[in-house]
């Protein structure tokens, strides 16, 4: 399971009385009765509008039907360790305190520069999960599960084992496709992430810490989450108990459809702490189809760098809410530049899908393919505007070089800048200039602050 303080897999969860008085008090009773009824009506109405109580879901049928399509993945790889650490681990404190050990350790360090080695490869094993999507042996899992794999073994619930071939892996979305030589295998049913609702029950099956076919359940905590190192994926956040070894396993809805692939957890301990993240099955399916068809994956590129719209920016740009992606940089000759995007624009929608936070933009662009046309709803100088961009291939080498050069320039100064708006120029009393949106590194040490021009 991929884990960080995001680690590389989460639990979010009338009585009426009356009295009667006879004789002369009947009129008073009727008045009291009407008044009480009127006072109770809102409570009765509220009770009738309350959500219907629902029983806890029973996942036994889903587990029985689709559990056999979930597999355990065992990966053998190698890692380089120094001979020094090998000796220290093998000998313990008695060796490290031995003067002869210290002599040979220093001798070895002196020889490393002469090509005498100093490191050796040691075999390691990684456990993960996956699930079968076609009866002829196509399996989906996480790319980080099979990273640097020398050998991949897939184990079915009937205890059969197969050597697997990695057809392809995409590090950007953390999706890998495996193939085993078998027929008539059980398969899962695939759903649509767009149909998934926050608060809906979901089920995970996997091999946490090597405990095969472990079933855990929880609810969808949020959708469209952007994580610091994975802006291309709009993650599903759940509170399902997911741990190392669950990586690559399926996330089911209550209809038994796979809606995501468990991929990451947020944890300070390395284990489950109630925050689990799954890759939407729509993203995984798109990557799988490309790998099966061509053996490679192509990603779309718009060609902008964006940042969050905070309340101060929203007030400055006269936005109703601090939402959208503020364009800080537009790559030269990129699809964004050709479409007319400018620094200082706020992208509010892509093909009608709202951009709430800046991380939503790369996630939505990531769902498209190179060559696709997207409609961008932007906010510029206090007014809405619509632009159309034809997306390019993110693997275009020249674009990558330009982007990296731009990033290195910003990295040296530690500044995020944007052009001044017309009203801001009037307020400051200048004809032009750049507004400092964020200052860090050398710029901050020199005294530059956010808001400087």
144 classed as catalytic: yes
Q: What is the C-alpha separation between 119 and 79, in angstroms, rounded?
A: 10
Rg over alpha carbons for the chain, rounded to the nearest Å, is 29
176 neighbors 243 (Cβ within 8 angstroms)? no
Q: What is the C-alpha separation between 134 and 142, in angstroms, rounded?
A: 17
Smallest CA-to-CA distance from 412 within 451, 383, 442 is with 442
Beta strands in 253-362 (DSSP E): 257-266, 276-280, 300-301, 304-308, 325-330, 346-350, 353-354
98 classed as catalytic: no
Q: What is the C-alpha separation between 196 and 212, in angstroms, rounded?
A: 27
236 neighbors 193 (Cβ within 8 angstroms)? yes
Check residue 235 and report its DSSP letter.
E
Check residue 108 and report its DSSP letter.
H
Smallest CA-to-CA distance from 222 within 112, 382, 357 is with 357
Q: Look at the block and give the residue holding tokens 């929203």.
A: 314
Q: What is the C-alpha separation between 188 and 66, in angstroms, rounded?
A: 6
Which residues make Cβ contacts (< 8 Å) with residue 418, sequence separation at least 6? 326, 328, 343, 344, 434, 435, 437
How many of the other CB atoms lie within 10 Å of CB of 65?
13
Write down the catalytic residue from 8, 74, 174, 403.
174
Q: What is the C-alpha separation between 215 and 378, in angstroms, rounded?
A: 45
Write down the catalytic residue from 3, 247, 358, 403.
247
Smallest CA-to-CA distance from 206 within 217, 194, 221 is with 217
Q: Look at the block and give the residue holding tokens 């996956």.
A: 130
316 classed as catalytic: no
- List the Cα angle 349/351/353 in 5-degree steps: 50
Write down the catalytic residue from 129, 144, 263, 377.
144
Smallest CA-to-CA distance from 281 within 351, 355, 189 is with 189
How many of the other CB atoms lie within 10 Å of CB of 289?
12
Active site residues: 144, 174, 247
């Amino acid at each position: 399971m991929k884990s960080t303080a995001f680690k590389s897999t989460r639990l979010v969860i009338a009585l009426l009385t009356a009295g009667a008085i006879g004789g002369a008090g009947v009129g008073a009773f009727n008045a009291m009765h009407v008044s009480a009824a009127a006072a109770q009506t809102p409570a009765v109405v509220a009770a009738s509008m309350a959500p219907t109580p629902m029983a806890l879901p029973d996942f036994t049928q889903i587990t029985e039907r689709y559990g056999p399509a979930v597999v355990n993945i065992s990966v053998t790889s190698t890692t380089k360790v120094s001979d020094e650490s090998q000796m220290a681990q093998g000998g313990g404190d008695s060796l490290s305190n031995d003067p002869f050990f210290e002599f040979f350790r220093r001798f070895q360090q002196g020889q490393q520069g002469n090509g005498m080695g100093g490191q050796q490869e040691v075999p390691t094993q990684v456990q993960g999960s996956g699930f079968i999507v076609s009866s002829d042996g196509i399996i989906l899992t996480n790319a980080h599960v099979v990273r640097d794999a020398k050998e991949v073994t897939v184990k079915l619930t009937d205890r059969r084992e197969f050597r697997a071939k990695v057809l392809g892996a995409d590090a950007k979305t953390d999706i890998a496709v495996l193939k085993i030589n078998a027929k008539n295998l059980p398969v899962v049913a695939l759903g649509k992430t767009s149909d998934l609702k926050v608060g809906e029950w979901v089920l995970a099956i996997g091999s946490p810490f090597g405990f095969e076919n472990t079933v855990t359940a929880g609810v969808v905590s949020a959708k469209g989450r952007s994580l610091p190192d994975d802006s291309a994926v709009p993650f599903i956040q759940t509170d399902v108990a997911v741990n190392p070894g669950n990586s690559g396993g399926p996330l089911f809805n209550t209809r038994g459809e796979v809606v995501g692939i468990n991929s990451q957890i947020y944890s300070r301990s390395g284990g489950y702490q109630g925050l689990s993240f799954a890759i939407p099955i729509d993203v995984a399916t798109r990557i799988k189809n490309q790998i099966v068809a061509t053996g490679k994956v192509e990603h779309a590129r718009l060609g902008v760098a964006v940042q969050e719209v905070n309340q101060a920016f929203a007030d400055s740009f006269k936005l109703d809410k601090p939402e959208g992606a503020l364009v800080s940089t537009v790559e030269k000759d990129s699809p964004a530049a050709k479409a007319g995007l400018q620094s200082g624009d706020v992208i509010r929608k892509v093909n009608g899908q709202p951009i709430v936070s800046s991380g939503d933009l790369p996630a939505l662009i990531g769902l498209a393919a190179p060559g696709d046309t997207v409609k961008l709803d932007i906010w510029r100088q206090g007014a809405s505007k619509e632009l159309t961009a034809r997306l390019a291939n993110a693997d275009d080498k020249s674009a990558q070089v330009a982007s990296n050069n731009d990033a290195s320039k910003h990295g040296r100064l530690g500044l995020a800048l944007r052009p001044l708006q017309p009203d801001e120029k009037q307020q400051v009393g200048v004809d032009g200039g750049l507004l400092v949106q964020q200052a860090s590194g050398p710029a901050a040490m020199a005294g530059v602050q956010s808001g400087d021009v």
